[in-house]
A and B are shown apart, each in its own frame.
Chain A
Amino acid sequence: DSGVTQTPKHLITATGQRVTLRCSPRSGDLSVYWYQQSLDQGLQFLIQYYNGEERAKGNILERFSAQQFPDLHSELNLSSLELGDSALYFCASSVEGTGPGEQYFGPGTRLTVT
């Protein structure tokens, strides 16, 4: 158990809909990262937040957005969903946004868009 929790575990929704994925980092970790894992693209970095502020952005679509709240939990919002958005979404956290910063990953949310 990494200490990172993600809800829900599974999500099935239709094209065009909007969903919110939630992540609670390990106690004391200020940085939260979101990754997408699909069969054709592998594991891809989406976005990082550090203590409530956006720190880095990766291949995140404009239809996707994220935020980190004062209690440090984070939400990833996916809108206008397409079939190709079906994937595993992982959240990770680390102690700081600097240094070697090993990341601890949650169990993931499996999103299926039908």
Chain B
Amino acid sequence: DAKTTQPNSMESNEEEPVHLPCNHSTISGTDYIHWYRQLPSQGPEYVIHGLTSNVNNRMASLAIAEDRKSSTLILHRATLRDAAVYYCILRPHNDYKLSFGAGTTVTVRA
């Protein structure tokens, strides 16, 4: 499986943007970039995914580098509810399992 590298932790202030980086230098042309998050004591939650172009949804934005070797998840205005572990996952187009790494633990300060 293609691997991703994320910082162990990040801190943010409430109502400020959060930029979560993910490096995936061995990504192949058909790998989707998925982001999930896991709030304390809950199951993982789908956030966003993309292939080549930047993507926006109601939860976040995903900025994908032109060479696709890195991406950034952007939470536009962090709230206390956004405190979670965020996972960046590469999913090959023909392999539906999700391979979770250690993720980035995001702490939001009030």
Residues of A within 8 A of B (CB): 2, 4, 31, 33, 35, 42-45, 48, 55-56, 58, 90, 92, 94, 97-108
Contacts and interface: CB of A to CB of B under 8 A. Distances in A.
B43 A33 contact: no
A56 B43 contact: no
Nearest to B44: A105
Interface residues of B, number: 21
Does more than half of chain B's interface fall in helix, strand or loop, or is it mixed? Answer: loop
A78 to B, nearest CB: 18
B97 A33 contact: yes
Contacts of B93: 99
Interface string B66-105: 0000000000000000000001000101011111111000
A102 B89 CA distance: 11
A56 B46 contact: no
25 contacts: A2-B43, A4-B43, A33-B96, A42-B100, A43-B38, A43-B98, A45-B99, A56-B96, A92-B43, A92-B44, A92-B98, A94-B96, A100-B51, A100-B91, A101-B91, A101-B96, A102-B46, A103-B98, A104-B46, A105-B43, A105-B45, A106-B43, A107-B42, A108-B42, A108-B43
